[in-house]
Amino acid sequence: MFETKQYHCISFWYHWVSNGKARAYSEGMSTHTGTTAGRPRAFDADAVLGQLTDLFWQQGYRHTSLSDIVEASGVHKPSLYRTFGDKEQLFATVLRRYLAEREQHLSSMRAMAGPGIAGIHTFFDLFEEFALSESGSRGCLAVTASDELRGTAPGFEDFSLKYRELMTSQMTALAALALPENAPDAALTSQRAELLSTLILGLQVTIRSQADAAQLRSVFAAIHALVDTWK
């Protein structure tokens, strides 16, 4: 049962991005229209954003030059600027797009996990499967960028705070599964959500530090043991 859920969760992650939902978000957030009068854009903006997300993820913001961006995207500087603005504006768009993807990914796993303590365990089973996948092994772009840029970027100030708020909201909904619907405890749920958020953020650093599969499975086992104490 878990294997089926894991497969569909990861498949949904790629399908959601390729199906254009991230495209609509990123283009809606961009401060540039991407075209000038009588001059249509000759490239897929979302595909380029995906390529540049990978580039920033691999090299970091400061170590990525405009020449790197042009080479990775295959788009000339004038076209890039008309569509995304300068490097700072481009990176802000990349981060917003990434946070939208991240939120949808977490939401989809929560929806698949089911109710109760068992649902929380299933969520972390799905998260573990993703963390051990090729895509998940890169860690979290927002966490990596926060470490490099101290949580703020021109055009997207306090992006790390936005990510923290996103994570806390998702973990609050997850932690609420541990309590009966007819006996909610907002204070306890909030404490557990803060704990889970911190664990996941720390886990992303562990993933980024080249931890092997055995180490990651050990971390997830510790999370499962913690959740068991909530029964």
**Class of 2-228 in CATH:** mainly alpha
41 confidence band (pLDDT: 50, 70, 90): low
Global confidence as pTM:
0.81
Q: How far apart are CA 156 and CA 213, in angstroms?
A: 34
- Give me the pLDDT at residue 9, please: 46
For the chain, the domains span: 2-228
- Conformational region of residue 64, where left means phi above 0, alpha means psi within -120 to 50, and beta covers everything else: beta
Mean pLDDT value of segment 165-177: 96
Q: Are 97 and 49 in contact (CB under 8 A)?
A: yes
Could you report the per-residue pLDDT of 59-83, keeping only the tens digit for each? Answer: 999 999 999 999 999 999 999 999 9
pLDDT of residue 12: 43
86-125 residue pLDDT tens: 999 999 999 999 999 999 999 999 999 999 999 999 999 9
